[in-house]
A = this chain, B = another copy of it.
Amino acid sequence: MSEESIRRPGGRSARVRAAVLDATLAELADGGYDQLTVEAIVARSGVHKATLYRRWGGIDGLIADVLSRSVEQPWQVPDTGSLGGDLHAITRLIYEGFTDPEQGAIPRNLIVAALRSSQAAQALTGFFETQHGLAAEVVSRAVRRGEVPEGTDAVDVVRTACAPLYYRLFVTGEPLEEEAAGRAAEAALAAARAGAFLPRERPA
């Protein structure tokens, strides 16, 4: 949206954007969901309120922008040599990313904030599409190795591994322990091996 469509990528616009995004993350870090107010961001960044509304349209657009920015920073897809190892590594990454006592609050609050706005929710959809696409690579490799049957829906394996973590964190509000993350990976692995992610043939 507000990627490189800026007419003047020179100093000022960039500085303002950086200031606002930094302030947003900072606010997200110590504050949380409810404290993420335009006033606070304006106060912290020193940018005028009207400017923020003009460029982002409000909190929603701001969160969406933060999200789309985080997509641009790719991560290293694990490659341990086995599907089980890779899935465990992925769920562990998620687990650590969200539960780290210091840095975990930022992504956690970011997702929560994104869930609270229709506009940002769309950005979230794109975010996960990207992440799923990247992560699906571990399944493709496993198919090539013959670990799981050909025709296995790679993205669905990833979804199955990740879903329980997000489910706990953001839907049911249950605590997320390390063991739960491991189990989710284990379950996805077992299901994939059993062929649960093959295109179904009969309506059952």
User: Is A101 part of the contact surface with B, judged by Cβ < 8 Å?
Assistant: no
User: Is A3 part of the contact surface with B, judged by Cβ < 8 Å?
Assistant: no
Residue ID in chain B nearest A194 by CB atoms:
B190
Verify A171–B118 contact, CB threshold 8 A: no
Listed stretches A6-14, A41-49, A136-144, A178-186; interface member: A178-186
Q: How far is the CA of A46 from the CA of B191 in the complex (A)?
A: 53
Verify A115–B116 contact, CB threshold 8 A: yes
Q: Is the interface of A mostly helix, strand, loop or mixed?
A: helix
One complex includes copies of this chain to the number of 2
User: Is A156 part of the contact surface with B, judged by Cβ < 8 Å?
Assistant: yes
Please tell me the number of chain A residues within 8 Å of chain B, measured between CB atoms. Answer: 47
User: Is A73 part of the contact surface with B, judged by Cβ < 8 Å?
Assistant: no
Q: How far is the CA of A43 from the CA of B1 in the complex (A)?
A: 37
Give A114-156 as 1s and 0s: 1 = Cβ < 8 Å from B's Cβ atoms. 0110100110110011001000000000000000000001001
A153 to chain B, nearest CB (A): 8
Q: List 19 A-B contacts (CB under 8 A).
A: A88-B204, A111-B171, A115-B170, A122-B173, A125-B173, A128-B174, A156-B180, A160-B160, A160-B164, A166-B167, A167-B167, A167-B171, A182-B200, A183-B196, A187-B188, A190-B193, A190-B194, A191-B191, A191-B194
Chain A residues at the B interface, C-beta cutoff of 8 Å: 33-34, 88, 111, 115-116, 118, 121-122, 124-125, 128-129, 132, 153, 156, 159-160, 162-164, 166-168, 170-174, 179-180, 182-184, 186-191, 193-197, 200, 204
